[in-house]
Structure 1
């Protein structure tokens, strides 16, 4: 048996070379077989931008806190000094405002969790699929409105001649007016959706069979909530508190609108940046909520709450 030779190329035609293994081809083959490398390449640009904008900004904030402002010229001196840090740590004004801000943030967090738990549980375990979708849209709808519009709306509601005063005045009651209670009420409304959604997502992952088993074993509604639902939903609850606590800790617009003469840390930062033109002191004040929320995140990281964000 004889082998047949390959046909010779037609006269006048140049033979086409076999495709070469170019660098682009090798890169494509490598990425197709290494999904982690493909993901890293995909995220490299946004992560670089995040690091440039966020990490660099925090580093600049930390460095600026150790500078000072010349009292005569108003120019910033880049010589290293601890004066701003010592002023913020030892000053009675900053201690009082820090405690006030921390109290407001804790009050807002407690109120939002108390309101979000029953709402999220009803959405996740009681409502029909159609009603569930409608409730999710209802929770998300306030987020479509402007922050300032919602804050000024509460200013109108809580004013001495507002709708709340009109509703409760026949009962002999009166609105407290502007101040810390108005700030807590407004912030609780603003951040409530951010607390409901993580808790709702966490409760959805709780198997219905566990609730049924608890009922079959004679557990009451309160026992089922306390011994079954809450332990499994605790990471999601803590995730919701991270939003309400951190957002309240750094807020300064709401207290300007409904807080009356009350001050929070955000107001001090804004005042020192704008009116006082003391950026180093403002940076030192801004480190207080950063340290507080960093400590809170360090405490809750072992609970698995960060996985629910």
Structure 2
């Protein structure tokens, strides 16, 4: 054991590779392997008579997905809801994060960070059903949404994922030197000019980092839509319905590839902003 320890001590890169081999193997099998199985299954189909999965390679599932007007509408609705939730959370989160990072005392900062994280410790279903109660006909916020539907879904998702936007922006603003803001004021810039020319450009990667969470989580959500969405559907609901009632696993896999491809494209687009360094 002494000789083995000495050997790994002399080779730090080999030691690091040995320590990371187990988690990387698990990542490759459980995560990347599952994604590979998902993409492969999307090219199969289900026998209409027996309901069994038939390993017969074709693009029929993708053809149905892109040519059927219903699925196109659901896809655009899903992307639109995810984008709108991201924008709403960014607008709400930025002033909150700025107050936490630049205006609050160190003690108050810690209290506010805990307050922002507290909703994450509560059950997802409890929070979603709480919004269902508030948006019901006699609920406290029934005047905000005309019944259950897309508006109620956007409001619920915006609440659920707001902490994931606040915390990255807070971290970005906390790293922003106060001297830059003071220098902008000394040079005669007003508050809005300082925000537009100094604060926003330097914290933009943090905003994009938060958007990765809110956009991806909204893109794949289906439980909140079931609870407050009424008759509206998102891509996650189509996947769920084809796994359960329709028993069409290949088509469910086909639909599930859409959010994955969208997020890969989004990550490729934001990689140059430095947002991934803020995660």
Band the TM-score falls in, shorter-chain normalisation: over 0.9
8 Å Cα contact 2:145-2:152 kept in structure 1 = no
Q: 2:244 aligns with which of 243, 260, 274?
A: 274
Displacement of 1:33 in angstroms is 3.3
8 Å Cα contact 1:239-1:306 kept in structure 2 = yes
Residue of structure 2 equivalent to 1:226: 196
Deviations 1:31-79 (A, max 9, x none): 2233333222222211111111110000000010011111111111011
Deviations 1:135-193 (A, max 9, x none): 0000000000000000000000111111224xxxxxxx564221000000000000000
Shift of the 33–223 alpha-carbon distance from structure 1 to 2, 3 Å rule, reads: farther
8 Å Cα contact 1:155-1:258 kept in structure 2 = yes
Computing the radius of gyration from Cα coordinates, the structure with the larger value is 1
Residue of structure 2 equivalent to 1:4: none
Displacement of 1:253 in angstroms is 0.3
1:35 paired with 2:12, answer yes
Alignment of 1:105-184 (within 5 A): 105-165=82-142, 175-184=145-154
Residue of structure 2 equivalent to 1:200: 170
TM-score under structure 2 normalisation?
0.97
Deviations 1:250-280 (A, max 9, x none): 0000000000000100000000000000000
More displaced, 24-33 or 98-107? 24-33
Q: List 4+ stretches of structure 1 deviating above 6 A.
A: none
Q: Which runs of 5+ in 2 are unaligned?
A: none
More displaced, 182-191 or 26-35? 26-35
Residue of structure 1 equivalent to 2:273: 303
8 Å Cα contact 2:168-2:210 kept in structure 1 = yes
Residue of structure 2 equivalent to 1:239: 209
* Aligned equivalents of 1:108, 1:141: Cα separation in 2: 20
Displacement of 1:29 in angstroms is 1.7
Secondary structure (helix, strand or coil) at the match of 1:219 reads coil
* Aligned equivalents of 2:84, 2:139: Cα separation in 1: 24
Secondary structure (helix, strand or coil) at the match of 2:141 reads helix
8 Å Cα contact 1:160-1:175 kept in structure 2 = no
**Structure ranking higher on relative contact order (CA contacts 8 Å, 6+ apart):** 2
Displacement of 1:30 in angstroms is 3.0
* Aligned equivalents of 2:53, 2:14: Cα separation in 1: 45
Secondary structure (helix, strand or coil) at the match of 1:163 reads coil
Q: Which runs of 5+ in 1 are unaligned?
A: 1-23, 166-172
Residue of structure 1 equivalent to 2:257: 287
* Aligned equivalents of 2:172, 2:146: Cα separation in 1: 36
Deviations 1:100-126 (A, max 9, x none): 001100110000000111111111111
TM-score under structure 1 normalisation?
0.88
* Aligned equivalents of 1:63, 1:31: Cα separation in 2: 40
1:25 paired with 2:2, answer yes
